[in-house]
A and B are shown apart, each in its own frame.
Chain A
Amino acid sequence: MSEALLEMESPTTEEANGVTEETSIVNGNGLDAEALERGDLLAHDGVPAALISMRDIWRTYEMGTEKLHALRGVSFDVQRGEYLAIIGPSGSGKSTLMNLIGCLDTPSQGRYWINSKLVSEMEDDELARIRNQEIGFVFQTFNLLARATALHNVELPLIYAGVSAADRHERAQRSLRAVELGDRMTHRPNELSGGQRQRVAIARALVNNPSILLADEPTGALDSKTSIEIMNLFEKLHSEGNTIIVVTHEHDIAARAHRVISIRDGNIESDERIK
């Protein structure tokens, strides 16, 4: 926590105070008691010490007069350095959960902390900042800018982080070398194979040193041989200390993770450590 605070810039210190206030409400709700029951560690003032903490998360969509509960009170923690797979059939609420973890969406109810920051209460632009600094997205269809070089694609998050051009170049190059694409920096996506494209996307996800690498069906558009390559890369990144969350519906992909959360009908069906 203290380390996290040290990393924060002055405006976020105020947020941290806000978090403290919120926490008393958490105590009032008795949510922390539940958390303690589950054996979670708590930092001072009831702010969870885990990298990700979800507490009684609901996501409800209004379809006309009907209410559709995509998530029904999900709670779990993810510690730094974990390799987690979230698995579930389509319609299970898995994608909704991923959008929430990735801070693309906010819960209808419940509290969500990343790195001790209460993101469930944040506004659009604050969420954008969290996505930029805490989350590295890897998409099924890569989502690279077609006209930009691999290097420029990887630089993009740094542009939004306001990093200077020289610094950006250097960090993007380092990131591309880390995924073994040091010799493809000036290639455009259409000059790269599927596996290479996904590795560019992974380099982009890693370039900001995010807390979490969040991958949505990362092998969904790849053949099985390339899939294995990418999964090996994830393993390597995990061994280097990165926290990885993979959302998938394929069991053999989930089996590569060290922990699997299975979602069904908006609830956690199972949460088991497999390695």
Chain B
Amino acid sequence: MKLKIRSDIYENLMMAFGTLRANKLRSSLTVVGVVIGVWTVMAIASIISGIDEAVKKAIESFGTRSIIISKYDPGIRVGRRSREERMRKDLTYEDAMALRALPSIETSVPFLDITNNFFGAKLNVSANGKTSTAVRLQGTLPDYERAGVMVIGEGRWFSQFENDTNQDVCTIGSSVAENFFPYQSPVGQTISIGGNDFRVIGVFEPREQLGGGGSGSNDQNNVIYIPYNVAHKLKPDASQVTILAIAQAGHMDEALDQVTDMLRVRRGVSFKEPNDFGISTAESIISQFRSITAGVAVAMVAISSVGLMVGGIGVMNIMLVSVTERTREIGTRKAIGARRKDILWQFLIEAATLTGTGGLVGLLLGWVTTLLIRLFVPSYVPLWAPVMGFAASVGIGLIFGLWPAWKAARLDPIEALRYE
């Protein structure tokens, strides 16, 4: 019995393909909606997954033990910051030093960003006759090395001693090295920052970043680190301190609690009030990003299901036409022994073949699109996208083909044979 059903489906499939071939133009116009629906799912799914994967990698390169503390709340913000946020105190060097005392914290370093000052004037960076204002300038402490985010490729990090004695030394990102010292090793060269000459003592390995990185100030390899004290001296009015705390291995949760508690005490936040600083981890940033992509995915499903619905109605329409056109055929089939369910299956499978073929075309287009997208942003097709796309297209055929097929199955053979 099982074998019989399978051969029925095979026969029906062959007949369905025959019908599609015979009505090429009509069939292709009918499934345009389904093709576009599946295509959209594929394309958007691959973009989302690609970006998601890239973000995950980029953020994980932050270090899974890293806790980033900033004055403002992390995350994507629309419009102006709230008054409360704008009124917050800056974090300080002393905060960073205090966190080092916590048992769950391995070390903690402050960053002083001197790229911008309050009035927007930027420090020029120049060497070898080139000048740029797009380089990010950060003062920090050599312990930053232990976060494992920036890895020295050539030369060395500056030392605590160099920080304490205000040495004008710097370590530079790979993009800085390429821009200013394209034909020579930068180590030992001199680079001018805000008119002061700095000796380059180390160059970082290129850091993996989102979407292959941006250019200019969006490029995370376009960065120069100088000793914290030197940065402070170079730009005494700079106050934007960010703190990176590195938790002891396996103590991330405790570390988060302890850091939060300590900072609340130090900043005088009363028991009832929320934190007046932002705290984030690689994990929290990723999950925040995920909630955005999930929203986009829901919107995508909604949009493409509208496309699929419209496509489905087209399929229903054409199947009704087909049933009417083939009334005599249905009559003949019934006369020679087709039961209702035989006719029902014939038309259901025909509708599903129509939309399934459309789905396959959509998958193919989506796959090609993914390859094209990959030239610009990272993208890959997650397995669920083609599986769901194909299942949805076949399902549309079955659902919207049901009524026409039922109509065909219910035809009276005598009437059907008499139909002109």
**CB nearest neighbor in B for A130:** B337
A148 and B11: CB pair below 8 A? no
CA distance A160 to B12 in the complex (A): 11
Q: Assuming the A-B contacts A147-B22, A159-B11, are A139 and B337 also in contact, with contact meaning beta carbons closer than 8 angstroms in the complex?
A: no
Within 8 A of B (CB), among A127-141: 128-129, 131-133, 137, 139
Overall SS of chain A's interface: helix
Residues of A within 8 A of B18 (CB): 147-148
Residues of A within 8 A of B4 (CB): 162
**CB nearest neighbor in A for B22:** A147
Q: Assuming the A-B contacts A147-B19, A147-B22, A162-B4, are A129 and B337 also in contact, with contact meaning beta carbons closer than 8 angstroms in the complex?
A: yes
Overall SS of chain B's interface: helix
Contact with B along A143-166 (1 / 0, CB 8 A): 101011000000011011110110
Residues of B within 8 A of A165 (CB): 7
Residues of A within 8 A of B337 (CB): 128-129, 131-133, 157, 160-161, 208
Residues of A within 8 A of B414 (CB): 99, 104-105
Counting CB contacts under 8 A, is A204 at the interface?
yes
Counting CB contacts under 8 A, is A125 at the interface?
yes
A204 and B336: CB pair below 8 A? yes
Contact with B along A112-126 (1 / 0, CB 8 A): 000000000000110
Contact with A along B319-350 (1 / 0, CB 8 A): 00000000011011111111111100000000
Counting CB contacts under 8 A, is A48 at the interface?
no
Task: Give the size range of A's interface with the partner.
Answer: 20 to 34
A143 and B417: CB pair below 8 A? yes
CB distance from A149 to the nearest CB of B (A): 10
CA distance A137 to B340 in the complex (A): 18
CB distance from B38 to the nearest CB of A (A): 28
Within 8 Å by CB of B340, from A99, A105, A125, A131, lies A125
Counting CB contacts under 8 A, is B211 at the interface?
no
CB distance from A108 to the nearest CB of B (A): 14
CB distance from B207 to the nearest CB of A (A): 63
Within 8 A of A (CB), among B12-53: 18-19, 22
CA distance A161 to B342 in the complex (A): 11
Counting CB contacts under 8 A, is A102 at the interface?
yes
CA distance A143 to B3 in the complex (A): 29
Which of A124, A129, A133 gathers the greatest number of chain B CB atoms within 10 Å? A124
Residues of B within 8 A of A161 (CB): 337
Q: Assuming the A-B contacts A125-B340, A148-B18, are A137 and B335 also in contact, with contact meaning beta carbons closer than 8 angstroms in the complex?
A: yes
Counting CB contacts under 8 A, is B413 at the interface?
yes
A102 and B8: CB pair below 8 A? no
Within 8 Å by CB of B332, from A133, A143, A159, lies A143
Residues of A within 8 A of B8 (CB): 159, 162
CA distance A137 to B341 in the complex (A): 21
Residues of B within 8 A of A156 (CB): 333, 336
B332 and A125: CB pair below 8 A? no
CA distance A204 to B336 in the complex (A): 9
CB distance from A115 to the nearest CB of B (A): 15
**CB nearest neighbor in A for B19:** A147
CB distance from A130 to the nearest CB of B (A): 8
Within 8 A of B (CB), among A176-226: 204, 208
Within 8 A of A (CB), among B383-413: 413
CB distance from B329 to the nearest CB of A (A): 6
CA distance A88 to B172 in the complex (A): 106
CB distance from A145 to the nearest CB of B (A): 6
Residues of A within 8 A of B340 (CB): 124-125, 128
CB distance from B411 to the nearest CB of A (A): 11
Which of A125, A128, A165, A208 gathers the greatest number of chain B CB atoms within 10 Å? A128
B339 and A104: CB pair below 8 A? no
Residues of B within 8 A of A102 (CB): 335
**CB nearest neighbor in A for B326:** A145
Residues of A within 8 A of B3 (CB): 164
Q: Assuming the A-B contacts A139-B417, A148-B18, are A132 and B336 also in contact, with contact meaning beta carbons closer than 8 angstroms in the complex?
A: yes
CA distance A137 to B338 in the complex (A): 13
**CB nearest neighbor in B for A98:** B414
Q: Assuming the A-B contacts A156-B333, A159-B11, are A128 and B22 also in contact, with contact meaning beta carbons closer than 8 angstroms in the complex?
A: no
CB distance from B18 to the nearest CB of A (A): 5
CB distance from B407 to the nearest CB of A (A): 15
CB distance from A100 to the nearest CB of B (A): 10
**CB nearest neighbor in B for A155:** B11
Within 8 A of B (CB), among A44-91: none
CA distance A128 to B336 in the complex (A): 8
CA distance A220 to B337 in the complex (A): 24
CB distance from B332 to the nearest CB of A (A): 4
CA distance A143 to B329 in the complex (A): 7
CA distance A129 to B18 in the complex (A): 26
CA distance A161 to B338 in the complex (A): 9
Within 8 A of A (CB), among B133-156: none
Within 8 Å by CB of B336, from A105, A124, A131, A164, lies A131
Residues of A within 8 A of B339 (CB): 124-125, 128-129, 160
Residues of A within 8 A of B341 (CB): 125
**CB nearest neighbor in B for A165:** B7
Q: Assuming the A-B contacts A124-B340, A159-B11, are A131 and B22 also in contact, with contact meaning beta carbons closer than 8 angstroms in the complex?
A: no
Residues of B within 8 A of A133 (CB): 337
Within 8 Å by CB of B329, from A105, A131, A145, A160, lies A145
Residues of A within 8 A of B328 (CB): 143
CB distance from B73 to the nearest CB of A (A): 67
Within 8 A of A (CB), among B63-91: none
Residues of A within 8 A of B342 (CB): 128, 160
CA distance A162 to B22 in the complex (A): 26
CB distance from B417 to the nearest CB of A (A): 7
Q: Assuming the A-B contacts A148-B18, A164-B7, are A139 and B332 also in contact, with contact meaning beta carbons closer than 8 angstroms in the complex?
A: yes
Q: What are some 10 contacts across the A-B interface (CB < 8 A)?
A: A99-B414, A128-B334, A128-B342, A131-B337, A133-B337, A137-B335, A148-B18, A160-B333, A160-B342, A162-B7
| Additional pairs, 6, CB under 8 Å, beyond known A124-B339, A161-B337 | A129-B339, A131-B335, A132-B337, A137-B336, A157-B336, A157-B337
Sorted nearest first, the 4 A-B pairs with minimum C-beta distance are A132-B337, A160-B337, A143-B332, A128-B339
